[in-house]
Structure formats: C-alpha cells, structure tokens
A and B are shown apart, each in its own frame.
Chain A
Amino acid sequence: MSGPGDAAGAQPPDGFAELLPGEAACHRRVEDLLLGSFRRWGYDEVITPSCEHYHTLAGTCGEEAFKFVDHRGRILALRPDVTPSIARLAATRLAGVSPLRLCYRAQVFRSQQQEGWHEWGQAGAELVGPGGPGADGEILALALQSLQELGLDSFQAAVGHRGLLEALLEAAGLGHQGQARALDALRRRDLVTLKSLLGSGSLLGKLVAHPARWSAGQLLPELENQLGGGTALMEIHAIFAMLEAAGLSHRAYLDLGLVRGPAYYTGMVFDIYAPPVRRALGGGGRYDRLLQAFGSSRPATGFSFDVPALVQAVKEQCPLQAGGRDYYVVPVPGREQAAFACAVRLRRRGYTVELALDPSGVENALAWARDRGFARVLLVGNSENSEVVLASMSRPPGQGRPAGIH
C-alpha cells in the first residue's frame, strides 16, 4: 500500500511536532499570558539565537544538543536550553545592568527525545545581579503567580536548596565521597541507595519520604535545631516568608531531597507540578557560577516552563476561550467588490472577518460559517445586505483586537 504520506519528507522528522490551527493558537496564547505576567514584574523579553557555540553550553546541557559544524570548522549547537544564552548575554553585552530582569519564549532542541519530542517551547525568566533570597523569592513567586494568572487552580512547587541539602548530608555524617554518592542518588531519585547511605534515624532520610506532609513552618524550627542556623537555612526562611506575604505559601512545600538535572544549580531549586501532567511543568533555581564561564561572577536565579506541559494543564483545568470569529461575509454573484469593501470596513472596526471567495450558495456558506465558529454571516446582496446570527459575538464591537494577539 502506498499513499501520499509514504513519500520521503511527507511527514515531519520523528520527534518534531507541527501544531495545526487551534493547537498553535493555544500554545501562543499560553506563551502570551506568561510573557504578560513576566512583563508586569519588570522582566524584559529578549530573543537569543537558535544556536550557540558548543563551548557556551559547556557544563550545562551541551551533551544533549544537536551539533553541527560551521564553515570555519567551529562546533555549533542548537540551543537545548535558554539559560546559558541568557547567562552569556548577562555576562557580556548587558554586564552593566543590575539587577537585570529578562524573560524569553523559545523553541529548544534536544538530541535525546523527551516524552517523544526533540523540540518544544519554553518560556522563562531570569534575574541576574542580586544574590540574596529576595531574588530567589521573587523568581519563585513570579513562577507561581504566572500560573495563577494562566487560570490554573491546582499546582504545587517542591522547593529545595542545594546548600541546605549539603548541610543535612554533612549532619548525617557523610564524608566527601558519601555526599557525592548521595547527591547522585537524589539526582536519579533513587531513595533506596540514599537510605542505605544515610542509615536509620537521619533527618534527611525522614524528609525525602512524603516531603509535603510538613509545612515549612513546622520544618524550619526542626532544621534550625539540627543545623544550628546557617546561610542556606536563613535563605529558605526568607523565601517562604515572601511566599507567605504574596499569598502563595499554600502553593509550595519544602522538598529537601530535590536535586534538579542540570549540575549548575547552587542554591534554591524548585520543580512545579500540576494535574493532569505527569512530569514537571517547569522549574528552576539559583545558578551563581554559570556566568563564570564568560568571565563574570554575577549571581543569578531563574526558571523555565515547558509550554506543551502547560498547554496540557490549561486544557484540563481551565480551557482557554478560543479566539472567536465574528463575520463571514458572503456576496451574491456580481457583488464581490462590495463584499470585499464591506469586510475591510468591519475589520477596521475591530471584527474578525473572513470573506467567501467562491460563490457556492447561501446554504453552503452558512454550513461553513457554523463549522468555523462564526458569530454572524453577512449576505451582501444586490440592493441590500442581510445578517444571519449564528452565535453571540466574542466581544462587543470597537474593543479592538482580542487579548493575547500582539
């Protein structure tokens, strides 16, 4: 059997998606809403190149990148992540701006498929310059607030801290090598190996099982007791106090066993989950040493969201209103120019208008308009026009373009 789909190149390459009308609109709408939230917090959008020098990605996620060679023999990589590009920018052309608040939306590419995909959309924000918990608290609160503004009502952040984790491993009596093995086990989420390293009775061993069982208010005094203070503990205290002040503390819990994939995190880290998505929607944390690769010692913190995962959560939790179509303008034979002029006038008034180019009869036009979700059909006749109302208008006239399309 053969069909048009069998020809080489008739399908996109394995692991690369094409988003059709509707689906594409939904992705863009989610991105627009996120970027809108980021902007209200003072984050300016930047557009970084799709590819970077491979060595720019060293120590991050370069191994996962698609690589190619340019005409001078240099290795380039399609960005597997946007954070290294932002770090490069913050260390070089924007080195003088502090605090530097940047956000982005971009496609990322990985040579190893994730959930079956090589390419997907990310949207994120980065705060470069300030090193304290104030910046971390802002970044975490922004991530949570932007999900709230997207309309999600069920989501949770697991929040950890690299320094606090290291202090707990030390308190459990682990030496340098033991700590490295424990961190590796946590990165692989292997709690069996972790428990065998920690032995019984360690606080961390207790905390990695069902971390959300305790509120930060309950845990922090116990940690204070165990560790006798420390910078990391003070930072976590301050971050949770900020969430409390923002009315977001019910969205986060302390997960001290959290170790995120990229090795560059140095302080606070977080992952965000929302039903029905069965993987993290996104996450981030503090990466104070990433800019060193570009000769800068600026501390930084940030996060990114996985746009397809967000779209899945939004579809389930709070379906976005599809952008409504207002008028389908249909001429009787010979009145095409009048219909065209009429459509232009309506568009100038802010309506979404499509024009029937092919006079296929009123019945066909009505069926098509119904299928495509038009609110009204305008029949342009020889002497007068008539309107057929199919549904209510998506918005009152004169309101301009719908939100989300900029």
Chain B
Amino acid sequence: MPALTLALAKGRLLPPSLKALAKAGLGLPELEPESRQAVFHGPGGLRVIIIRDDDIPTYVARGAADLGIVGKDILEEAGGPTVELADLGYARCRLVLAVPQGQNRLGPDLTVATKYPRVSTAYFSSRGVAARVIHVHGATELAPRLGLAGAIVDLVATGRTLEVNQLEVADTILHASARLIGNPASCSLKGSYLWPLVERLKECAGGEES
C-alpha cells in the first residue's frame, strides 16, 4: 500500500511537474516518454498516477489520489471539495473571453462556446449578461468562424491561436497556473507525510518557467 498517491496531468503540465518532483528528490526512474503506463512507484512510498487533467479534481475529491497538480482553470471548473494547497507558479496562462477581431461589443443575443461551462456561466451571471453557453470539448477557437457561437471562453498562453483565428481578448476571467490540491481527509489523516511533501514541492516548483 503506497503511503501517498499524487495525480499528475497528461499534457503541458506534465514536464514541469515531473521536473519539480525530481528536484524534490522524488524523480520517477521508470518513466519513459512513450510508455502507456499510468501508475508509477516513486521513492518513499509515493505513488504517482498520470491521468487526464480534468479528471484530477475528481480523483482527489474522492480520495483515489491524496494530492494532485492541476491548472487553476480546471480546478475552478470542477468546483469540488478539494483543498487548494499551493500555487506552484508554472504553466501560467489566462482564461479569457475572446470575440472576433474588431467586434468590441458583445451582442444582446450572446452565445459562447467553451470547455468551461461552469466558470463561464458564473462569469456572465456575475456581470448580468444573458449568455447562452455551449459546451464543446476542443477546438473552441473555430466556433465563431463556423457560426457555432459569437464568442468563446478559452485558455490563452501566447495568444497565437486567437490571432490565427482572427479573435481578440475582450476580458480576462482568471489567471491560471499549476495548483497543488489535496483531499481533505488525507490532509488530516496523512498530515505528517502530506504537509512536508507539500512544502518540498512548493520550494522545488519555484523558479520554473513562468
């Protein structure tokens, strides 16, 4: 039985997360880039699982993992009962409302395509905008050009994708970065193992890419 399970996200968060782990002395010797393996045993009873980013809040909320590293955007969208332990500072980007270039005002009948329906709905209702939110799972930036929606809410790192699709940022909804999250029961019952690890990861994540 592993002492603690840490869930990492496949994709762009994985390399900096693994780097932080290695720096904290918890590198995974068995990890091979092309392998389909998802469960790894690290030093000191640590088990690392690598899963889809939007599954991480679920795994941690239900205690299948004690800790997880996930973007603030995904965490906000999940809204689950997890403890947000630390801002690890890497994988910085913004969740923005983007509209076709030159269209600086939102129409009265706004439809918005997004992978983030919960965050988007909360954003529009807090501003008193009656927007219809359309849930899509990818290629959000195509939606305005194809007439699916008048605007999008999406994650932006460099802004290059928006530019290519003739979109521009109308508003920033939140600033995202990698967050370390924990299961509330694990934070209590496995505290003496968990909290020192949190401190170590916090220290070792600092000074990564920004």
Contacts and interface: CB of A to CB of B under 8 A. Distances in A.
Interface stretch (A277-285, A326-334, A378-386): A277-285
A156 B188 contact: yes
Enumerate the 4 nearest inter-chain pairs by beta-carbon distance, A residue then B residue, closest first.
Answer: A278-B63, A210-B195, A189-B83, A190-B84
Nearest to B186: A278
Most chain A CB inside 10 Å of its own CB: which residue of B83, B179, B196? B83
B114 interface: no
A164 interface: no
Interface string B186-210: 1011011011101100000000000
Given A156-B188, A209-B195, A273-B189, A191 B84 contact: yes
Interface string A265-295: 0000001011101111000000000000000
A280 B184 contact: yes
B183 interface: yes
Given A210-B191, A212-B192, A273-B185, A279 B86 contact: no
Most chain A CB inside 10 Å of its own CB: which residue of B179, B184, B186, B189? B189
Most chain B CB inside 10 Å of its own CB: which residue of A115, A189, A273? A189
B179 A156 contact: no
Q: Using C-beta atoms within 8 Å of the partner chain, give the interface range for chain A.
A: 20 to 34
Contacts of B62: 115, 278
Given A209-B199, A213-B191, A213-B192, A192 B184 contact: no
Interface in A183-213: 188-193, 209-213
B85 interface: yes
Contacts of A277: 185
B84 A278 contact: no
B191 to A, nearest CB: 5
Nearest to A281: B185
Interface string B35-51: 00000000000000000
Contacts of A154: 189
A209 B198 contact: yes
27 contacts: A156-B188, A156-B189, A158-B188, A189-B81, A189-B82, A189-B83, A189-B84, A190-B84, A191-B85, A191-B86, A192-B87, A209-B85, A210-B191, A210-B192, A210-B195, A212-B188, A212-B192, A213-B192, A271-B184, A271-B188, A273-B185, A273-B188, A273-B189, A277-B185, A278-B183, A278-B185, A279-B81
Contacts of B199: 209
Contacts of B86: 191-192
Nearest to A155: B189
Given A278-B62, A278-B185, A280-B184, A213 B195 contact: yes
Interface string A139-171: 000000000000000101010000000000000
Nearest to A261: B81
Contacts of A213: 191-192, 195
A189 B57 CA distance: 14
A207 to B, nearest CB: 12
Nearest to A257: B83
Interface in B43-95: 62-63, 81-87
